[in-house]
Structure 1
């Protein structure tokens, strides 16, 4: 008997048929489904699912990762819906259960967790060989990162302004940064889910700010620009700190993007 694939919610999934109709509410998962060769079975995606550029344009949009259009999904008659613990709202997912037969929950928390993600999607959709190919590429990247020795640095990774927001230590982003010995400050743990995983911070009462070596301004979810970087560099509280823009897709997108993302971080750290 074909072994069943177990998702992040502990739900076991049988092998999907060739007529599976997939809606993905997770941008990085959408990109990964294409990398697994499932182009003909992807029928819906969010407006934030923008990769691969030349292929997603043919796939119907069903709203955003949180502002999901239930009727748009219903009209597509999906057999499978792919969601993520951090990116999608539980209440929305529960409403979708009423008419989507199979909901696959994902929740990679470290770069290595992508190996299980590849295997899960490959097993459900009959793309085991493609999943093994991605796994081999990721393993090579992880080994490359482990072979390097970078000087430890404390970083402030900013994802939003007004208010300023950063990432907790138990996020996927923080785990990616640790591959190149970049440790996120402040030292907070956010738990399984919640706003504390992406806390709002201030600079006036922040004793840890003096320990920061570099400030990273991510390109998403807030699109920081050179103007934001230059303005922050003029802030006297940032004196002596390296302030730079960083590609948020490379640090926060899991799935197939992790392969290139690790390489990107290795280059960033080597250029320091």
Structure 2
């Protein structure tokens, strides 16, 4: 059985017993571990691991996803640390390897990858039945999204300001949006030469004219309705200054979207796909 338990980095794992002590450095994974019924084995988390709210409060914090306090992790004597390729620093993981027996690496890139994620953690921590239930719920949501005809939309998904930042097409967020036939611009992949997975942009870029709607995410930057209003005014100002003040340029649809529902993978993907289906239907 153990030869089939392989994580996203190709590391092989064996099944852990009830004595496993898990530190999760990934908010989505922490929520998933609780969904798998591993409450008693979770001994550490980041400050960004905030779900499930009532149950996670009892778990000690060990810093942030990119600012892990190594000594705090060491004091918890973990047998397993769960990390993510995008969310955690390689140097942090290298330091953890010195004293954590098992480093589990995750890297879901599309919603369908959650099936493998459920299976991986279910196998390592002997929660196969719980993992299967999550897989079935995920499949139901994926099938519902695929069964609906979604009109194509070109969207700008904004994650940060000062500078403005968005997502490349090979990110999990972009893949989630494609479930409802929403395609992110700019049309770049972060893995391409010279490209970034979360590129910065300014409001005068030519491809902005081709956007059907702009989505301001509630995380990692906490965008609010006031930011939507301010961005609309900023776009209008740019249009006037460049002589491109057309209805399409100045009157773009700008709205908030729940970043947790779109960007969190693991068990949240089940709820997130349902949220995205409802959001696309209303908007």
TM-score, length basis structure 2: 0.93
CA contact (8 A) 2:232 2:251 kept: no
Aligned counterparts of 1:147 and 1:203: Cα–Cα separation in 2: 36
| Aligned residue number for residue 135 of structure 2 | 135
Aligned counterparts of 2:192 and 2:11: Cα–Cα separation in 1: 18
| Aligned residue number for residue 252 of structure 1 | 263
**Correspondence list, 1:47-196, <5 A:** 47-191=47-191, 196=196
CA contact (8 A) 1:85 1:193 kept: no
The Cα shift of 1:63 comes to: 0.2
| Aligned residue number for residue 222 of structure 1 | 221
Equivalent position to 1:267, from 263, 267, 278: 278
Alignment: residue pair count: 271
**Unpaired stretches in structure 2, ≥5 consecutive residues:** 240-248
Give the SS at the match of 1:244: strand
Aligned counterparts of 2:67 and 2:76: Cα–Cα separation in 1: 17
CA contact (8 A) 2:2 2:12 kept: no
| Aligned residue number for residue 208 of structure 2 | 209
Aligned counterparts of 2:12 and 2:145: Cα–Cα separation in 1: 33
The Cα shift of 1:216 comes to: 0.3
CA distance change for structure 1 residues 84 and 193 in 2, over 3 Å: closer, same or farther?
farther
Aligned counterparts of 2:28 and 2:99: Cα–Cα separation in 1: 24
CA contact (8 A) 1:119 1:132 kept: yes
Aligned counterparts of 1:149 and 1:178: Cα–Cα separation in 2: 12
Aligned counterparts of 2:135 and 2:97: Cα–Cα separation in 1: 30
The Cα shift of 1:4 comes to: 3.9
| Aligned residue number for residue 42 of structure 1 | 42
CA distance change for structure 1 residues 87 and 144 in 2, over 3 Å: closer, same or farther?
same
The Cα shift of 1:168 comes to: 0.1
CA contact (8 A) 1:25 1:81 kept: yes
CA distance change for structure 1 residues 2 and 104 in 2, over 3 Å: closer, same or farther?
closer
RMSD: 1.4
**Unpaired stretches in structure 1, ≥5 consecutive residues:** none
Give the SS at the match of 1:103: strand
Decide which structure has the larger Cα Rg and report it.
2
The Cα shift of 1:233 comes to: 1.6
Give the SS at the match of 1:154: strand
The Cα shift of 1:194 comes to: 9.6
